[in-house]
Amino acid sequence: MGAHTPRAPRTARTGVRDLRETAHAAQVRELTAAGVLEDPVWRAAFAAVPRHLFVPYFWTSRGAGHERLWEEDQDPERRARWLRGVYADTPLATRLRDGRLVSSSSQPSLMAKMLAALDVRAGDNVLEIGAGTGYNAALLCHRLGDGLVTTVDLDEEITESARTHLARLGYHPEVVTGDGARGCPARAPFDRIMVTCTLPLIPHAWLGQCRPGARILAPLSTGLIALTARGPDFAEGRFLHTPAYFVPLRGATAAPPQEPAGLPPGLPYELVENERFQFMLVLTEGTLHPREALDLWRRENRPARERFGVTVTDEGQWAWLDDPQGPYVWPLGEPDRPGVSRGGW
């Protein structure tokens, strides 16, 4: 018999790589089955960009504190928990400061919905506010190319980490350390602005960095507002039906996020737990007392998010129900540049 060369055994590293690839492929199948990757181009982007390269570790609640799970843990069970967490359809806490969440990796299905709602076209110049891990920027780079993607975050530690993660896959967008509320004038004008942090108001600086007709998609209250910028002093749009919860925008020009007022006594339990009612409470905070919000909610047949909208001008910002010129209009707070405050209901 001739000489026989035994097959080399599979290494532990190969086995780990296979597990990660299997988990990644399963995530893409699940998001497709859930109907959030209908666009084949975004489906290809999610298939090309593995989440685990952007989340080498994350924090999870454990008792009264937090536990860190990471890819290089010596305990195989903890490594397995890390991998399951990375490819679960959940947001992941990636940076804590004094026990407070300052950065996260968003829920993949919500990211897919937001990217679809952004409605990007070939050649669009996109600004992302909130670089996070770099995962979302990588998806944008896959679709548009590096030169059309700019992502901004306040902390140099976060931007440097995002830049490193992106480079591992060969992506090199413009990663900027700075106050996201100021945008990025050097890379303007933008066709799309995508925001991955909760806002109390739309920073006026963004409008001046948009081309006419640009789309701004941003978390506001507990929803997603899709605005069309008509010029440097005007944008308007409606909320999507999708709920959204993000880390608040930080920076010198960012107003503190609002908290909902206390609920009125005797509120039915189903409204205490009603997420859409809570959305309206936060959106109308400072103008409507909770009891007034409840009266409006009942009178208007429990309005869905899509019936609410926002108008941004150089004089201020207003939320409205159904019609910006209708009877239900209220200010969103102090504008970020001097102007006249318009009365609301």
- Residues taking part in catalysis: 103
CB 239 within 8 A of CB 223: yes
Q: Cα separation of 316 and 345, whole Å?
A: 16
How many residues are listed for the chain in this entry? 345
Q: Cα separation of 189 and 147, whole Å?
A: 13
Report the b/e string of 19-50 with b at 16+ CB within 10 A. ebeebbeebbebbbeeebbeeeebbebbbebb
3-state helix, strand, coil in the chain (%, to 5): 35, 25, 40
Look at residues 241, 234, 219, 232 and name the one whose alpha carbon lies nearest to residue 324. Answer: 234
Catalogue the E-assigned strands of 98-202. Answer: 100-105, 126-129, 149-153, 174-177, 190-195
All residues at 6 or more sequence positions from 272 whose CB lies less than 8 Å from its CB, including other chains: 263
Give the other-Cβ count within 10 Å of 282's Cβ. Answer: 19
